[in-house]
A and B are shown apart, each in its own frame.
Chain A
Amino acid sequence: MADKIVLEIARYAPERDDKPSFQSFEVPLRKEWVVLDALNYIKDKVDGTLTYRWSCRMGICGSCGMMVNGEPKLTCATFLTSYGNNATVRVEPLRYFPVIRDLVTALSDFLVKLQKVKPWLIHPNQPPLSAGEFLQTPEQLDLYKQFSMCINCTLCYAACPVVGLDQEFVGPAALALAQRYNLDNRDQGSAERLATLAHPDGIWGCTFVGECTRVCPKHVDPAGAIQQYKLTAALDWVKSFILPRGHKDAPQETAHD
């Protein structure tokens, strides 16, 4: 194994630069190092101005997503050695997001989209806590569990060509999280979410490219969630003419004994 590897890193400081450029750094190539370790090496030893986000370095906080050789990746989970000997690894900010500086992108738009789909449990008139938990069988949990694994790393937005063409598209992660609550037997909010989801910028914006699912580091399968919801939404749209309100049987509530 070679003992060095070159990183070509996108640099951009709005106070100084008109447009991004690349800067090369040679770093030690160690078998246990991920791309993030190389960035930390550069920041600590070579150039303290290199700018990126990171925190947990165990693939759960969702901070350190970047384009690595053109692919959206969590850099804490991407080994340098997976790019072979003597290779150059190109690191860029996540595609389709405004760049704040170097490898840091703006997340504010994603948070607006997330809030829009009402990703919280909607269940008016809950019994008091003393009545115990809502019942939910392991099978009912399995219906939505996969979609609850989203870490908001936004890799799926950087992979989605629709996001690239239409900045208003709600996008894979937010749609998957909406579906996570819609499929939860404790939730009664699918009607409230319908307007946002069944909008041209909601599920109908998705052209089912499936890149979101391919790049998701947590196997959430946003593409599957969206396709599933397209079916439900089409049915709900029909039902909304027939039934005054509500689409789902109320979940069972039982006192905890």
Chain B
Amino acid sequence: MEIRSHDILLVGGGGAGLRAAIAAAEVNPKLSVAVVSKVYPMRSHTVSAEGGAAGVAKPDDSLDEHAYDTISGGDWMCDQDAVEAFVKEAPLELLQLERWGCPWNREPDGHIAVRAFGGMTNKRTWFAADKTGFHMLHTLFQTTLKYQPITRYDEYFVTKLLVDDGRVQGVVAIEIMSGKIQAITAKAVILCTGGCGRVFPFTTNANIKNGDGMALAQRAGAPLKDMEFVQYHPTGLPFTGILITEAARAEGGYMLNKDGYRYLQDYDLGKPQPTPVLRSMELGPRDRLSQAFVKEDQKGRTIPTEYGPVVHLDLRHLGEKLINAKLPFVRELCVKYQNIDPVTELIPVRPVVHYMMGGVSTDINGATPMAGLYAAGEVACVSINGANRLGSNSLPECLVFGARAGHAAAEFAASQKAPNGSVWTQATNEVLRLEQQYLHKTSGRERIATLREEMQKTIEAGAGIYREEASLKQARQKIQELQERFENVGLDDHGRTFNTELISALELGFMLDVAQSIIECALYRAESRGAHQRTDFPKRDDQKFLAHSLVRRSSDGSLSVDYLPVKITHWPPGERKYGEGSHKASKQTKVS
């Protein structure tokens, strides 16, 4: 077996991975930096992000207000030292991207333009029309092309982390094109594989979002943090789950029930005004809006369709000119995929799984508790997102913590010796496992798609927007059964060249692990906070649960959960308030 070696290895080539790669290459141009990605980097899911990236940019805004919005939006589950670093560095990172050529929207005088976003007190969301993630990713990708020390392993799928003596020393990966399995060793590995939306049946996430990095880390011995906090975005197109960006509401869109009534006024989100009010109504946070949908449905005030109940997003009053200028992708997606024109028609929408607040537990520098292992972006949980992420915080998170992880890993790598020989045996064993379990096995009877669909239905039923002990226990039992049936999975495809069925099987294995972790954490958190709503424990309980869940997997596959206190610096836990006047709180609640 071939072994390749680098100083720093990125797993994943999206926003966080590419930012980390550039950071590492800039810290020390002599370091050998490699990006391993299961897709060409410009296909990464960052590409789908629409609305924008938050970073304080204007004189009427402040870092403290961005911090308060993030912390209250996260229902006080954010680590406040991390949030403070984040809000401080986000504008610089966005500016850096501007210097690399990102086509940010501009004011008439040529300065950066910013827009409003859900849960934010001031306008601070930088945007490139409504294709912000696309432009950020392509800017980053094109910029990496000029860095010679960055080696790319495009379309390589990582199956395992190599660990020796408690230290992560590389990966085993399949070159998808040839089917060749090889070890790639490194002094430090940074996971930037993104989220896990495909665990659920209805998601905005791309087909590649299978929680790979979360499962890889947990199997290697690293804990996952806060996995019970799954964000449902309130406005997905039915059937496809395609996201209609929050920017559509920030620009003035209304949410209407079947009677054409702006129903959010019934859910402590303020009074309806003709134009958008920050932190109010349609500009409330995503968890609250998605929960309001469920209540509205229970009242029989949604519209039934063959793909489940929907409400309407109304942009008609914004006019064609504004929609074309600020929301061209929304219009394109509606016309192409839903066959409706938002200039003249209502957009049917429903909540859709969008983002994982939890992930691989890291410190403020992206370091996990395992030596040599780092994580950044959606795969990681620092945590700046707490129990509910605010829209437009995830893109700058990729940049800020991608850069931090890149720097930290580069410094760590400089003091490490090359990986030792024992990883060779592990890599050889991994090759045998892949061959015996998948490629050479002809006795498997379970179909990948069947298991995947059952998993998705199970987790939605058991751990959806609202959960309870009984539903969670049932889901836990069912996923355990699916894990056992997965042992008997069979492939049609035993070829080596571009075997996408093998990749799907490995991804399903990762997703089952992630599903178990989500359910386990949700079961033990006997309170309601942010995106985690327990009908049997409807109140937040700071006495017991102002703490991050840490879920570990032991070698026999069993899970254990313990807790880590939330770091509070200047913003003691308070009540989340939205609606008119709620923005004043952001200036008043800081204590020194």
A83-95 toward B: CB 8 Å interface, digit per residue (1/0)? 0000000000000
Q: Which residue of A13, A121, A137 contacts B100 across the interface (Cβ within 8 Å)?
A: A121
B429 interface residue, CB < 8 Å from A?
Answer: no
Chain B residues whose C-beta falls within 8 Å of the C-beta of A114 in the assembled complex: 142, 145
B563 interface residue, CB < 8 Å from A?
Answer: no
Q: Which residue of A120, A148, A187, A252 contacts B145 across the interface (Cβ within 8 Å)?
A: A120
A195 interface residue, CB < 8 Å from B?
Answer: no
- Give A141 to B110 CA distance when docked, in angstroms: 9
A6 interface residue, CB < 8 Å from B?
Answer: no
Instruction: Determine, out of A41-49, A155-163, A221-229, A242-250, the stretch whose residues face the partner at the interface.
Output: A41-49
Q: Which residue of A16, A60, A136 contacts B495 across the interface (Cβ within 8 Å)?
A: A16
**Does B206 contact A107, Cβ atoms closer than 8 Å?**
no
Known: A49-B493, A120-B101, A141-B103. A55 touches B142 (CB 8 A): no
B208 interface residue, CB < 8 Å from A?
Answer: yes
Chain B residues whose C-beta falls within 8 Å of the C-beta of A230 in the assembled complex: none
Q: Which residue of A51, A129, A152 contacts B92 across the interface (Cβ within 8 Å)?
A: A129
B422 interface residue, CB < 8 Å from A?
Answer: no
- Give A19 to B239 CA distance when docked, in angstroms: 38
- Give A239 to B177 CA distance when docked, in angstroms: 46
Chain B residues whose C-beta falls within 8 Å of the C-beta of A106 in the assembled complex: 177
- Give A151 to B47 CA distance when docked, in angstroms: 9
Interface of A, helix, strand, loop or mixed by DSSP: loop
Closest chain B residue to A256 by CB distance?
B111
Chain B residues whose C-beta falls within 8 Å of the C-beta of A72 in the assembled complex: none
* Nearest CB on A from B134, distance (A): 6
**Does B42 contact A62, Cβ atoms closer than 8 Å?**
yes
Known: A121-B100, A135-B111. A101 touches B498 (CB 8 A): yes
Chain B residues whose C-beta falls within 8 Å of the C-beta of A123 in the assembled complex: 99
Chain B residues whose C-beta falls within 8 Å of the C-beta of A100 in the assembled complex: 177, 497-498
A24 interface residue, CB < 8 Å from B?
Answer: no
B390 interface residue, CB < 8 Å from A?
Answer: no
B226-273 at interface with A (beta carbon < 8 Å): 239-240, 242-243
**Does B112 contact A133, Cβ atoms closer than 8 Å?**
yes
B501 interface residue, CB < 8 Å from A?
Answer: yes
Report the contact-size class of chain B (Cβ under 8 Å from the partner).
35 or more
Chain B residues whose C-beta falls within 8 Å of the C-beta of A148 in the assembled complex: 103, 135, 138
Chain A residues whose C-beta falls within 8 Å of the C-beta of B39 in the assembled complex: 53, 55, 61, 63
Closest chain B residue to A104 by CB distance?
B498
- Give A148 to B102 CA distance when docked, in angstroms: 9
Chain A residues whose C-beta falls within 8 Å of the C-beta of B40 in the assembled complex: 107, 111, 152
**Does A137 contact B493, Cβ atoms closer than 8 Å?**
no
**Does B146 contact A118, Cβ atoms closer than 8 Å?**
yes
* Nearest CB on B from A64, distance (A): 10
Q: Which residue of B48, B99, B105, B112 contacts A58 across the interface (Cβ within 8 Å)?
A: B48
Chain A residues whose C-beta falls within 8 Å of the C-beta of B501 in the assembled complex: 43, 48-49
A230-257 at interface with B (beta carbon < 8 Å): 252, 256-257
Chain A residues whose C-beta falls within 8 Å of the C-beta of B112 in the assembled complex: 133
B43 interface residue, CB < 8 Å from A?
Answer: yes
- Give A111 to B42 CA distance when docked, in angstroms: 11
Closest chain B residue to A251 by CB distance?
B110
- Give A114 to B154 CA distance when docked, in angstroms: 15
**Does A77 contact B337, Cβ atoms closer than 8 Å?**
yes
Chain B residues whose C-beta falls within 8 Å of the C-beta of A134 in the assembled complex: 98-99
Known: A55-B39, A120-B146, A121-B101. A133 touches B337 (CB 8 A): no
**Does B98 contact A13, Cβ atoms closer than 8 Å?**
no
**Does A129 contact B95, Cβ atoms closer than 8 Å?**
yes
Known: A60-B48, A62-B42. A51 touches B110 (CB 8 A): no
- Give A144 to B135 CA distance when docked, in angstroms: 13
- Give A181 to B27 CA distance when docked, in angstroms: 26
**Does A15 contact B496, Cβ atoms closer than 8 Å?**
yes
Known: A32-B239, A55-B208, A60-B48. A119 touches B142 (CB 8 A): yes
* Nearest CB on A from B389, distance (A): 20
Chain B residues whose C-beta falls within 8 Å of the C-beta of A53 in the assembled complex: 39, 500
Binding site for B on A (CB under 8 A): 13-16, 32, 43-45, 47-49, 51-63, 77, 100-102, 104, 106-108, 111, 114-115, 118-121, 123, 126, 129, 132-138, 140-141, 144-145, 148-152, 177, 181, 184, 186-187, 252, 256-257
12 A-B pairs, CB-CB below 8 angstroms? A13-B495, A15-B496, A44-B449, A59-B336, A100-B498, A101-B498, A102-B498, A137-B108, A141-B105, A150-B138, A151-B42, A152-B138
10 closest A-B pairs by beta carbon, nearest first, are A135-B110, A48-B492, A44-B449, A121-B101, A49-B493, A55-B206, A56-B206, A48-B501, A101-B498, A119-B142
**Besides A44-B449, A61-B39, 15 new A-B residue pairs in contact (Cβ under 8 A), listed by A number:** A51-B499, A55-B39, A56-B45, A57-B206, A58-B333, A59-B336, A107-B40, A126-B99, A129-B96, A133-B98, A133-B104, A137-B109, A140-B110, A149-B131, A152-B138
